[in-house]
Structure 1
């Protein structure tokens, strides 16, 4: 005698396939309650989802089961969606689907799945994480909570069921600054998440008191003026250029003179001497301007070890320089 063993994954796929066959055989709802076209569309989606489930393509199966359930909510669709959610790591969603399936009255069609659903619920309840939100102050009007970017309807102190891993919770209320807390929960573990809401006006007052009053804004300072050094350098350059032009004119006149003792020669020598003097004065003046420019006092840097309070529309705090 030969014996065959079946893996749990294969058994789950078999149950899903049987569920698809039963759904096809189920009688449709009255036309007044649901259109025949909607029922047919839900069946097509379910059958395609079951095909993906048999192939192990659980993410695609989950999406199709969810769409089928939106069109026509049936116990078998809900059960199959729970299986796909469990296989894709959406443990909390899977737990909710199985619980909803078990909450409906059992029928001959759904009876074979009641046992597996109860077993899945028992295992999932041991795998999910739990978080208790501790909001302070305890009673706040208009309190809103969001978990991982999605609003949650939970009162402070209520235990939330979460998939294991990292999460972010945000608590907000009119007149308070939002409290944001990031936390992690292990499989089967539980954590308490403190959320302290601070009144917006009170927080600004504390920041002001801590700094003895916020300092006035420092006016922009342009630092020492660079106008004088630049002007001095410009004048020196002009004098040097004038001396150079005059010196060149003297050289040309000397080269054109017929003799070295005539009036033309004397005039050329005079122009050369004046050009040399002006050139020297120009260079000296440029040097003075450059000295003034390079020796300007630089603005003093912020002092080390300073603590400066700040306040804006989005919050308050301190700036530290170490």
Structure 2
């Protein structure tokens, strides 16, 4: 008996016309008259395609008809088309469904015959079914697909029925590299597909700008070109400025003291030369010199006091550094000279 063995079109059409007996077929669906008419037409087209060995069209028409009107005759046509297309796993399940559902007493004879044909034909399909055993090593919960159909984890590591021919297994998991393996299996054959996933390479960490990260390198206190991140340059600069200002202030005090001393000497000379505070024009240059000395002394004292005060504040408020030796400024006064010597 061949799979293309046909149910005569007139018998098939007649079986679908027994609407009063629809309730006798195993599980009946709620169909409208239009659905029944459409199913009858599709069943006839499916049988014609099956007889012409146009199995793809036959499968399509019987599948549509069976979805509109559930009858063993239509399911049998679908099973035959599936088997002819090499879809033996689905064909076997369709045959078994026809057998499992059976028909109720009093059902049309064509329905009874469809069940008996299913029992006979399924035995020719079952040996053609192949099998594959898929194993996955690596992740605990991999996602596995066989021909883009997900394979439950319970079906891994055991033989799974497949149609003969070419297949593709794809496996993925979080933190693991995707894997794909193709295999081919003949009718009634078996295949084993072991897949081992590799850990995905860690994503590279983006470089962070240096200005956003503190550095652990401590620059010498004397290095005024150190980066702003270390804080050393700013600490050293403040202290250095403090010593310079202090030295300048000290020099100002010395200047004020020296010129003040000279101004006092001029004043004493003028008192001797100008009785009753009355001076001649000959003493005018001495008077101008006395006033100049007094002015310089006053300015020197004021600038010196401000410098010493400001320098002291800068030095005392400068942050501590780890340098072993800090900067120093030493004022000096010489004959005709005034200045400061510093070490930074």
Listed as ranges, the gaps of 5+ residues in structure 1 are 1-6, 206-322
| Helix, strand or coil at the partner of 2:62 | helix
- Matched residues in 2 for 1:15 and 1:174: separation? 56
- Matched residues in 1 for 2:29 and 2:181: separation? 49
Match of 1:49 in 2: 46
Report the Cα offset of residue 136 of structure 1: 1.5
Match of 2:98 in 1: 101
Matches within 5 A, 1:56-95: 56-95=53-92
Match of 2:144 in 1: 145
Match of 2:196 in 1: 196
Report the Cα offset of residue 106 of structure 1: 2.8
Alpha-carbon RMSD: 3.0
Report the Cα offset of residue 65 of structure 1: 0.7
- Matched residues in 2 for 1:27 and 1:59: separation? 32
Match of 2:15 in 1: 22
Q: Is the 8 A contact 1:17 1:54 kept in 2?
A: no
Deviation string for 1:272-311 (max 9, x for gaps)? xxxxxxxxxxxxxxxxxxxxxxxxxxxxxxxxxxxxxxxx
Matches within 5 A, 1:103-122: 103-107=100-104, 108-109=107-108, 110-122=111-123
Q: Is the 8 A contact 1:169 1:181 kept in 2?
A: yes
Report the Cα offset of residue 98 of structure 1: 0.9
Q: Check 1:172–1:37 CA distance in 2 against 1; reply closer, same or farther (3 A cut).
A: same
Listed as ranges, the gaps of 5+ residues in structure 2 are 205-344
Q: Does 1:187 align with 2:182?
A: no
Q: Is the 8 A contact 2:164 2:185 kept in 1?
A: yes
- Matched residues in 1 for 2:180 and 2:79: separation? 31
- Matched residues in 2 for 1:21 and 1:54: separation? 19
Deviation string for 1:105-162 (max 9, x for gaps)? 333343222332123222212112100111224x723x32222233344621232212
What TM-score, normalized to structure 1?
A: 0.53
Report the Cα offset of residue 9 of structure 1: 6.0
Number of residues of Structure 1 aligned to a counterpart in Structure 2 = 195
- Matched residues in 2 for 1:66 and 1:149: separation? 21
| Helix, strand or coil at the partner of 1:174 | coil
Q: Is the 8 A contact 1:166 1:183 kept in 2?
A: yes
Q: Is the 8 A contact 1:17 1:50 kept in 2?
A: no
| Helix, strand or coil at the partner of 2:60 | helix
Runs of 4+ in 1 over 4 A off after TM superposition: 28-32
| Helix, strand or coil at the partner of 1:52 | helix
Report the Cα offset of residue 28 of structure 1: 7.5
| Helix, strand or coil at the partner of 1:151 | strand
- Matched residues in 1 for 2:188 and 2:21: separation? 41
Match of 2:172 in 1: 172
Report the Cα offset of residue 20 of structure 1: 4.3
| Helix, strand or coil at the partner of 2:6 | helix
Q: Is the 8 A contact 2:9 2:44 kept in 1?
A: no
